[in-house]
Amino acid sequence: MNDALPTPPPAGPGLLLVHGTAGDSAIWEPMLPQWSDTRTVVAPDLAGAGSDEDPGELSVAGIAAQALAAADAAGLTEFDVVGHSLGAVVAAELAAAAPGRVRRLVLHAGWVRTDARQFAEFDHWIRLLRTEVDLFLGYLPLMAFGPRFWAAANESTTKELLELLRPGFRVAPTIRQIELDQRVDLTDRLAEISAPTLVLTSRHDRLIDCASQRALVSGITGATQAGLDAGHGAPAEDPAEFAAAVTAFLEEAR
């Protein structure tokens, strides 16, 4: 985790943003105007993203420790955490490992334990990446975006998205992240989370179904749930709706 999204000088409570698999901190850029004027925003790249070149096996606990180190480097003592997809898994682990540091927690498109169908999905991703990278990149929007996005799309949409995704994409680090997706198991960690938690689900998530996400609600004491009219990639599909839901929850404490 060598790179981080540049943010303005410190401005209020801390906010740590944790991206998901095959992405990087740039996913948060459209939402920064809603947060950076009133918060100290820290958006690190996970191990396997940015310029990270470490070939070693990843762990949820290890990436959570890296995210915590990014908050430390920014001078944050207490902070809110928002995690998307694998980033939600990491955010949950961070909240369990450092309960005195996390004020409020938002988990979008996260899951408790990788089941057989999810494992097979992730295995398919790895096979695509080892066969033809463009097939994987072309599949991502089909998996990530919901009906509203595709209703406004046309015949050139997938090609245009492929052109956006292809530059800078790196296969080996992404495979390391996907292999970590296959090993996710927070079963024994959820009871350690004490921060007020919002589980933000996407109604059209084709990767992590709502039942898997609701397991986070039942496993975290006092957790609440809200829904988005989007797919798994809601932060990219509809950043305004995503940011509004996050902000509403975080502002409850102020």
Residue numbers annotated as active site: 85, 205, 232
Give the ranges where the chain is alpha helix by DSSP (H): 32-35, 60-73, 86-97, 116-131, 133-144, 147-151, 157-165, 171-182, 210-219, 234-237, 239-251
Q: What is the spatial distance between Cα 228 and Cα 238, in angstroms, rounded to a whole number?
A: 9
DSSP 38: T
What is the number of residues in the chain? 254
79-84/102-108 β-pairing? parallel
Reading the block at residue 148, the tokens are 């509203």
